Chains A and B, each alone.
Chain A
C-alpha cells in the first residue's frame, strides 16, 4: 500500500426498487427510532427515508435523506427505465424547497439520514431491519482514501509570507519588539 493511501469503511444501503411493496415499514421504523425519547412517537412525515410512490405508474423508490439545499435545482431530467418514466426528484435525497420530504413538519428544519448511528451500535440501520422484502439491504464497503496533506493554519500562512518578503530575522525582531510593548 502506498504511504499516502488508507482504507475506510463506507456504510451503504442498497435499494432494489423492484422488490419494494410500498408498505412503508421503513418510514414508520425510522421515525420511531429517531423520536426523542427513542420510539416515543411515530410519524412517517418525520422519517429520513421515504418511499416515492406513484401507484398508477408502478413507481416505488425508497430514498434516504441527504443534504439540505437552499434552492431548487435547475436540472429536471426525466429518466426512462424499463419503460417507466422517473423524474429526477424520484432519486434525489435532498431536503429542498421544491417538496416537503425530509423536513420536520412543524419547524421545517431539514432531516438527514445518520445510518442510525447509536451507542451501542445497531446491527443494521432500523429501516433495513423493518424491510422484510430485501428492497433495502445494508452493505459495508472499503474505500481507499488518500491521506490528507498536512495543511497550514491561517497564521502560519501569514508568517510564511512575511518571512519570504522581509527575511526571518526582521520578522523575529519585530515580533519580539511588539510583544514587549
Chain B
C-alpha cells in the first residue's frame, strides 16, 4: 500500500497517441518527495540535455505535491515542470486550487506528457479511463471559456480543467496554464501549446490513504484552525488595503521610475471602494482556510482573480490606476498570459517606440492612449502578429532580435527571464545571492523565511526573535539580533540565509505546500504555518516514511542540487548567476564576486557553480557525478575542468 501518494504516473505520448499507467518506485519518493523534486528526477532521466524545449523529446510534467489530497491544510500546489523555451532551463511553475488533488483521486501522482500532437487535442482523465480527444473546436478559446466548454461537453461540473489560452497555442513565452483561480506561469504554457495540448480535464473518485490517519487528521484539524487565525499567513495583497509597499518602492513602466510618494490616504480609500464595489467574494484553494483570491467582476469582462502582486503589475507598467488592472486582467487571463512578465514586455516595447528604436510602422493601427496601447499589444503578442511575434519571445530575446540598441532596454532580466521591477539603492547581500543564483527565476520563489530588512531597535529585534519558531538553527536568531544596516551582514550569514530561504521553497514545492502558509511568509513577522520542525511529522504521518529535521534538510539539498545539475548539464554556469546591472545603484563588483565564491563553497559547488563529485555523492546523486565526468563537466577526479 502506498500512503499519501498513488504510486502511478500517467504517461502520455502525443506523437503516438499512447496512454500508459506506469508504477513508480517508492524509493524515489523517499529521495525526491513529489512535486518539483520528482519532476526534476524525470527531467534528468529522460530529457537529453541537447533537446530543444520545442522538441517532442521535452516532457511537460504535471506533478502533484506529495501532501496534495491529504488532510494537511494548504497543501494544494501542483508543480508544472518542463524545459522553458525562454531560458532553455528547467521551468519552475506552480498552481494551487484543485488540480493536483483531483489528479490523485483519479489515481495518478503525475501526468507526464511527451511528443507532439499533429492536431489540437485535450486529455480527458476520468479515473482509470483516459482519452485523447479532439480540441479543434476549442482553438482560440480563452482559458476559462475552455474550462466551461469542456465541463459542458463532459456533462460534469466537478471536472477540474487546466488549459492554455490562445497565447499558449501560439507558443508565446509569457503564456500561462490556467486552472480555476490559479495559473502556472514561467515556462510551461508555450510548451503545452507546442505539444498541441489545449487542456487536461481530470475527474477522480478514488480513496487516498495515509499511514497514521487518526493522528494526522487530529493534527491537521488543529493546524487548519491555527492557519485561519494566523494573520501572518495567506496573501496579504488580498486583504490589506494599504499597498504603499509596492507602489512606493517598486519601479513603474519598464522597471524605470520609483514614485516614493505615490500612495495616499485618499487613494487608498478610493481603491478600497473600487475593490469592494466589484468583488464577488474571496475564495481559497482546496482544504485551505485562507482566502487569497479576490474574485472581481468587471463590467463586460470575464470574472477573474488576481494573484498577489499581479494586482499591480499592469497599472504600474502603464502608469495608471487600479481600475486599469481590473479592466485588463480578465482579458489577459482569458488570453492565457502571465500577469508578471507580460506587462513588462509591453512597457519595454513602448519604451523602444519612445526611443525611436521601434517606430509607428511597427504598430499599425495602435491607439494613441496608453490604456488602448496595452490592449492592442496584448492582442498582437497573443496572435504573434507583426512586431508582436518578436515581443512574444519575452524581453531578452525580443531585444536581441530587434537590435539597434534595444539590448540596453533589457535591463531587468536574469537568465533571460523578466524579474520583478525592483531597483534599489544599496545591495542587500542575501538578496544579491538569491537573485543571482536562484533557479526558480522569480525572487518571490526564493525569498521568504528570513526578514527582508533589519528591525530598527534591539528591543524590536529581541521580541521578533523570541517568537521565532521557524528558524532551523539558533544562529539565525543571533544574526538577526546583530543586523542593523541592510547592506552590512557577514558573508557567512548571507550564505546561510539564502540557503534557508531556498530550502523552504524546495521543500514546499515538492510537498505541494503553498508558499503563502509556509516558505514565503516568514519574512514579515516570522510566524509561518509550516517550518522544518513540524513538516517532518506531517510527512511521516502521511506517508509512513520516517522523516526528521535532518533528513528533511538533506532531502532539500538533494533536490536543490539535482535541479542545479539538470541546468548545469544544459549549460548553466557562473556567468548566468548575475543580477541586472542596475538592480542596485551602489555596486561593489569585488565584494559581490567574493560573496558568490563563498556561496558556491558553502553549497559544495565549484567556482563555476557546478556541484562537485563529493557534494553529489554525499547526496546520493552518484549517477549525476558519473554523468558529469563522462561529459567532461567535471574532471575524472571530480573537480573543476581547467
Binding site for B on A (CB under 8 A): 18, 20-25, 28-29, 32, 35, 37-46, 52-56, 58, 60, 105, 129-130, 132-133
Q: Select the stretch in B200-208, B386-394, B503-511 that faces chain A.
A: B200-208
The reply to whether A42 and B214 form a contact with Cβ atoms under 8 Å apart is: no
| The 5 residue pairs across chains A and B that have the minimum distance between CB atoms | A45-B205, A132-B228, A132-B289, A105-B205, A41-B207
Q: Are B280 and A58 in contact (CB under 8 A)?
A: yes
Q: Is B283 in contact with chain A by the CB < 8 A criterion?
A: yes
Cα A41 to Cα B209 in complex, Å, equals 5
Whether B225 and A132, one on each chain, are in contact in the complex, defined by CB atoms closer than 8 angstroms, is yes
- Number of A-B residue pairs having CB atoms within 8 Å of each other in the complex: 98
Whether B207 pairs with A58 at a CB distance below 8 angstroms is no
On whether the beta carbons of B303 and A55 are closer than 8 Å, the reply is: yes
Chain B residue nearest to A103 (CB atoms) is B205
B295 within 8 A of A: yes
CB-based contact B71/A43 at 8 Å: no
Q: Report if A28-B157 is in contact (Cβ < 8 Å); known contacts: A43-B205, A43-B208, A58-B281.
A: no
- Residues of A with C-beta under 8 A to B144: 56
What residues of chain B have their CB less than 8 Å away from a CB belonging to chain A?
Answer: 69-71, 73, 98, 105, 144, 147-148, 157, 180-181, 204-210, 213-214, 216-217, 221, 224-225, 227-228, 280-289, 291, 295, 297, 302-303
Contact A25 B209 (CB under 8 A): no
Partner of B287, one of A20, A23, A55: A23
Determine how close the nearest CB of chain B comes to the CB of A120; give it in whole angstroms: 15
Q: What's the minimum C-beta distance from B388 to chain A, rounded to whole angstroms?
A: 28
B283 proximity list for chain A (CB < 8 A): 21-23, 55, 60
C-alpha gap A43/B158 in the complex (Å): 13
Known: A25-B224, A45-B205. A58 touches B70 (CB 8 A): no
Contacts known (A23-B285, A58-B280, A60-B281); A29 close to B71, Cβ less than 8 A: yes
Residues of B within 8 A of A39 (CB): 213-214, 216-217
Q: Do residues A42 and B207 form an inter-chain contact, with CB atoms below 8 A?
A: yes
Residues of A within 8 A of B225 (CB): 132
Asked if B157 and A21 sit within 8 Å, CB to CB, the answer is no
28 contacts between A and B (CB under 8 A): A20-B281, A21-B291, A23-B284, A23-B289, A25-B73, A25-B287, A37-B213, A41-B209, A41-B213, A42-B207, A42-B208, A42-B210, A43-B206, A46-B205, A55-B180, A55-B283, A55-B295, A56-B148, A58-B280, A58-B281, A58-B297, A105-B205, A105-B206, A129-B221, A130-B221, A130-B224, A132-B224, A132-B225
A32 to B289 CA separation, bound complex (whole angstroms): 18
Known: A21-B282, A29-B71. A133 touches B213 (CB 8 A): no
Greatest chain B CB density within 10 A among A18, A25, A41 is at: A25
Contact of B295 with A58 in the complex, beta carbons under 8 Å: yes
Q: Is the CB of B180 within 8 A of A32?
A: no
Contacts A24-B286, A25-B224, A130-B224; is A38 near B214 (CB within 8 Å)?
yes
A24 to chain B: closest residue by CB: B286
Answer whether A32 and B287 are a contact pair too, CB < 8 Å, given A41-B207, A41-B209. Answer: no
B181: A residues at CB distance < 8 A: 55
Given A28-B71, A42-B71, is A22 in contact with B221 using a C-beta cutoff of 8 Å? no
A21-B284 in contact (CB<8A): yes
Q: Which residues from chain B contact A46 at a C-beta distance below 8 Å?
A: 205, 207
CA distance A25 to B209 in the complex (A): 17
Residue of A18, A32, A56, A129 with most partner-chain B CB within 10 A = A32
CA distance A22 to B101 in the complex (A): 14
Instruction: Name the residue on A nearest B208 (C-beta).
Output: A42
Q: Which of B71, B205, B224, B303 contacts A32 (CB 8 A)?
A: B71
A54 touches B157 (CB 8 A): yes
CB distance from B525 to the nearest CB of A (A): 20
Note all chain B residues with C-beta closer than 8 A to A132: 224-225, 227-228, 289
A118 to B51, CA, bound (A): 59
Known contacts: A25-B224, A55-B303, A58-B303. The answer to whether A32 contacts B213 by CB under 8 A is yes
Q: Cβ of B286 and Cβ of A56 under 8 Å apart?
A: no
Q: Which residue of chain B has the shortest Cβ distance to A31 in the bound complex?
A: B207
Closest to B305 in A: A55
Expressed in whole angstroms, the Cα–Cα distance for A39 and B211 within the complex equals 11
Q: Which residues of B contact A24 (CB under 8 A)?
A: 98, 286-287
Interface centre among A18, A35, A43 (most CB of B within 10 A): A43
- CB-based nearest A residue for B289: A132
In the bound complex, CA of A53 to CA of B287 (Å)? 15
Cβ of A19 to closest chain B Cβ, rounded Å: 8
Residues on A with beta carbons closer than 8 Å to the beta carbon of B205: 43, 45-46, 105
Closest chain-A Cβ to B472's Cβ sits at a distance in Å of 28
Of A21, A29, A58, A133, chain B has the most CB atoms within 10 Å of the CB of A21
Q: Are A45 and B105 in contact (CB under 8 A)?
A: yes
Taking A28-B287, A41-B208 as known contacts, 11 extra A-B pairs with beta carbons closer than 8 A to each other, sorted by chain A number, are A18-B281, A21-B282, A23-B286, A38-B213, A39-B216, A45-B205, A46-B205, A54-B157, A58-B303, A105-B206, A133-B289
